[in-house]
Chains A and B, each alone.
Chain A
Amino acid sequence: MTATAQALVPPVPPASPASPVAKSKASGGGLGRYIVIRFLLIIPTIFILVTLVFFLMRATGDPITAALGGRLSGAQLQERIHAAGYDRPILVQYFEYLGQIVTGNFGTSISDNRPITEILATYGVATLELAFYALIVAFIVGIPLGMLAAYFRDKGQDAALRVFAILCYATPVFFAGILLKLIFAVWLNVLPVAGRATTSSEFEMQDLPNRTGIYLIDAFQTGDPAVIGDVLTHAVLPAIALGLLTAGVFLRLVRTNVIGTLSTDYVDAARSRGVSEYRLVRRHAYKPALIPIITVIGLQIALLLGGAVLTESTFEWKGLGFQLAQYLAARDFVAVQGIVALLAVIVAVTNFIVDIIAALIDPRVRY
């Protein structure tokens, strides 16, 4: 959600990847140097977030009391706390936790005793699949409409499109989800209510030799059109609910940037040469306007993942967000910590990739 404000307040030079560490070294180095510095900057980000989450979660007490407090006697609790090492000094636990994370071990969930790494691997792909669909929806809806709004600037179409963009942002994903469900799944009865696939399709995909967990790929592996159709129809409503949230942001960004480029000299020059208005918007004004959008996609990932938690809960899409809500309800803070840490890593890494892409496209971005 923060990214929306970001898109709206131009005076903050925001997504500029320059942090003071890098600025002090700024000397107009090449792309390779930029990538290295930018990569090194991920580490403090992840480190800070993991540290923050660790100490915040631990501030409420040890995870075992939180999860099992009411159900075990005091002595049994103490025994389990001792066995898990939660009675040691917090700093010792912290460094042990850091060490474990580096080796990819996130511990074991308390409520259902599963390795966190396994949970992350199983449900992470589902979340990424959903985020990917949503991003497609956002592109398809946001970019063309943004260009239209810029072209009809200050006219009725523009106002309507901008109100649509604000509505996209103002509607919580879970409410959008509920409305879509109500209309398409309950009243019209054309799309499934919830889940990633019907049980029979899931059963069919279960036995695949190299199962990816990405249902669309798995569905194609079965080669059964019924399964493919089933998986796709299940994805439609969640993807729209989550995608519209981002589509509104894209629409506004494209609009603002295309308006900016439409008033540049080279567009005037092109217009005076007799280039058609369509071509003017489509070719001349649109492409340079895309660069800021690429940078903002990085921030959209954070928004998408946050939205995915809500979308998944609405549609019972069994991904990380859905699991997160379950573990939150069960007060299983080891699992919560693991999932939150992984999401932090995903956000940091996508931001890195996006910054590199932006640097490849626009040489001015480099330090």
Chain B
Amino acid sequence: MSAPTTAPETAGGPTASPATKATRPPKQSLFSRLPVVHQLRQSVGLQRGMLVIGLIITAVFVICAVFAQFIAPYGFSQLRDDNGPFGAQLAPGGSHIWGTTVGGYDVFSRVIWGAQTALEVMVVAIILSIFLGVFLGLVSGYFGGWLDRILVVLADAIYAFPSLLLAIVMSIVISGGQSNLYGGILAAAISITVVYIPQYFRVIRSETVRIKGEAFVESAKVIGASNTRIMFRHVLRNSTRTLPLIFTLNASEAVLTLAGLGFLGFGIEPTAAAEWGFDLNKSLSDVTSGIWWTAVFPGLAIVLSVLGVTLVGESLNDLADPRLRGRRAVSAASGDVAQTSVVPGGTLTAGPAGLAGLEDTEGEADRDR
């Protein structure tokens, strides 16, 4: 609780995304104030264990994705090497440690390359939805009025709808359902973005509405700061506390949605990139004849990557909520604390976080003068 604050560091929304990738142990003192690293220090016992395991799995996933071409023995669409064609449905062993698929691809290579596709889609989708969702939420919450009402109803409608169906509709619109590498990645990412904009929108909007009434916003107004300045410097900076949480959760959902799209045949063509969902779809008929390796490995890859990111997100969420934080870190009678989260700064980051945020913006308001 006496830990350093995170609110000012997480400000700036989109830039928060690389922070989660800072999975290596802290080496500089600045690191200890970054989200994730800060929470890592805050955590105890099992909670820390879950966070660490999540970070390790995520790190492995990212490493596989980034260095796919060095790790994978073959290309994702490679069907033959110097010794001739691989052959279809070979059992694991020999030169194909996880076997080959019905189409004659090397399973291990496609799983590794699939991580790259998943990461690319994840990053594009999250950047797009953070930008759009945060911007819309900020504008909607700050200005209010008819625009706000329309956007809220729209967001609620989209939010309540099965996300996979929406993603399917979007992928039809964008690419007609099938496409090459970049078209496919973009189509999948945009489909996922449309689904997740409402989440960012809702969170940022409700924070904005709350912060809008704070004294420091009024002072900024009195001083004569422009709406744009108030929105982006004063309100936005104080409303991004929840973003790292939603961000990790959406990252995992993006992987699942991409796999779902791929499974239904709306993913990326096998010759353009490796995609786990598509491979699982192709493995459906193998399973009935007892060929397990074409399904189990890509499936496990999905499960592990989602598990890793979710463990990180879940731990962050728990650490942010005093009711759920490890009991050694917080006194037992914390049930009421969360109820009072209307206080600026709220319960998301440890104690004085919000206050520090306030001080920051007040300092800026001074400089406006």
A interface residues with partner B (beta carbon < 8 Å): 1-2, 4-5, 8-14, 19-21, 44-45, 48-49, 52-53, 56-57, 59-60, 66, 153-156, 158-159, 162-163, 166-167, 169-172, 174-175, 178-179, 181-182, 185-187, 193-194, 256, 259-260, 263-264, 298-299, 302-303, 305-307, 309-310, 313-314, 324-325, 328-329, 331, 333, 336, 340, 343-344, 347-348, 351
Contact = CB atoms under 8 A, between A and B. Distances in A.
A179 B299 contact: yes
Nearest to A302: B162
B30 interface: no
B280 A264 contact: no
A340 B169 contact: yes
A2 B257 CA distance: 10
Nearest to A175: B299
A159 B176 CA distance: 44
A98 to B, nearest CB: 16
Given A11-B203, A309-B164, A172 B169 contact: no
Contacts of B296: 179, 182
Interface in B244-279: 245-246, 249-250, 252-253, 256-257, 259-260, 263-266, 277
Contacts of A48: 153-154, 157
Given A11-B242, A56-B170, A154 B327 contact: yes
A309 B290 contact: no
Contact of B263 (A20, A49, A156, A172): A172
Given A4-B253, A49-B157, A302-B163, 16 more contacts: A8-B314, A9-B203, A9-B249, A21-B149, A166-B311, A172-B277, A172-B280, A179-B295, A185-B288, A256-B323, A298-B160, A307-B164, A310-B264, A324-B165, A329-B265, A347-B161
Contacts of B284: 178, 314
Given A9-B317, A169-B306, A186 B161 contact: no
A162 B161 CA distance: 27
Nearest to B207: A11
B307 A8 contact: no
A306 B165 contact: yes
B168 interface: yes
A10 B338 contact: yes
A8 B253 CA distance: 13
A57 to B, nearest CB: 7
B163 A306 contact: yes
Given A172-B256, A309-B164, A8 B313 contact: yes
B227 interface: no
Contacts of B160: 45, 298-299, 302, 347-348, 351
The 10 A-B residue pairs with the shortest CB-CB distance in the complex, in nearest-first order:
A306-B162, A175-B299, A170-B306, A306-B164, A5-B249, A48-B157, A263-B335, A170-B307, A45-B157, A20-B149
Given A19-B152, A299-B160, A53 B203 contact: no
B263 A174 contact: yes
